[in-house]
Amino acid sequence: MTHLDTELQLLKKEIISIWTLVILQLKKTQDSLLRFDKDLSREVILNEKRVNAYELKIDRDCENIFALYNPVAVDLRFVLAALKINNNLERTGDIAEGIGKFIISNESPFDDNLLKVTQMIKMFDVSTSMLLDVLTAFENEDTALARSIFKQDEILDNLNLNASSVIADFIRKNPDKLEQALYILSTIRKLERVGDQAKNIAEEIIFYVEAKVLKHKKDK
């Protein structure tokens, strides 16, 4: 095994570490929302510093690999993909932190009917499933699994599209719960962006494994 191979293996392990942490962050925000556990949300916000530290470390390691080993072909594509995936994961961590801040700002537990009609829990579940699937695709270089992410993202897109009318109807019937309805709407928008990040990651996996660029293409 060459020095480059060793560095690439270490880089892959670092990417998996930040990935696992970000998935845990998202799961904790879901638990915090359901149990209205503000302390758990504070933990998510505090752990965002770890996510940021991982991102900076991975960026530096990618730069060092470029400078010291001059990778080519699939090795080059892997490092380029790692840089972008790292950024997507950091942004996903930011999203989890933002949802945690919404929970802390709310004064009372979220209305059960509001969570039901907006299908908020389904959005969390789909978002987490997408992140887990792209992680598996990354570990196994499974481009078929990576491509399945695009279909899953349509579920989040559709729930996001329906959210405004559903929440407007809820507010008309429950004007006293306007503030938390707006928090939920903002959370829905954030979870839709988690899907976008997972989709971007899937594109990077396909790029480095198959040398195909899918960005901005409609047929994937």
Structure token pair of residue 21: 């942490």
Crossing angle for the helix pair 3-35 and 73-105, nearest 10 degrees?
Answer: 20
Q: Which domain holds residue 101?
A: 3-210
The domain that contains 34 carries what CATH number? Answer: 1.20.58.220
- Residue 133 inside a domain? The answer is yes
The pLDDT of residue 187: 96
Please check whether residue 104 is in contact with residue 38, taking contact to mean a CB–CB distance below 8 angstroms: yes
Burial 42-75 (b: 16+ CB within 10 A, else e): eebbebbeebeebbeebeebbeebeeebebeeeb
- Residue 187 inside a domain? The answer is yes
- Residue 215 inside a domain? The answer is no
The pLDDT of residue 1: 80
Q: 3-state class of 72 per DSSP? A: coil
Please state, in angstroms and rounded to a whole number, the distance separating the CA atoms of residues 209 and 211: 6
- Residue 148 inside a domain? The answer is yes
- Residue 169 inside a domain? The answer is yes
Structure token pair of residue 189: 């928008």
Tell me how many domains the chain contains: 1
Stated pTM of the model: 0.93
The pLDDT of residue 105: 93
Please state, in angstroms and rounded to a whole number, the distance separating the CA atoms of residues 142 and 209: 8
Please state, in angstroms and rounded to a whole number, the distance separating the CA atoms of residues 49 and 196: 23
The pLDDT of residue 220: 57
Query: Splitting the chain (220 residues) into consecutive groups of 10 residues, what average pLDDT does each group show?
Result: 94 97 98 96 97 97 96 96 97 97 93 95 97 98 97 95 95 94 96 97 96 69
Please check whether residue 133 is in contact with residue 145, taking contact to mean a CB–CB distance below 8 angstroms: yes
- Residue 218 inside a domain? The answer is no
- Residue 64 inside a domain? The answer is yes
- Residue 188 inside a domain? The answer is yes
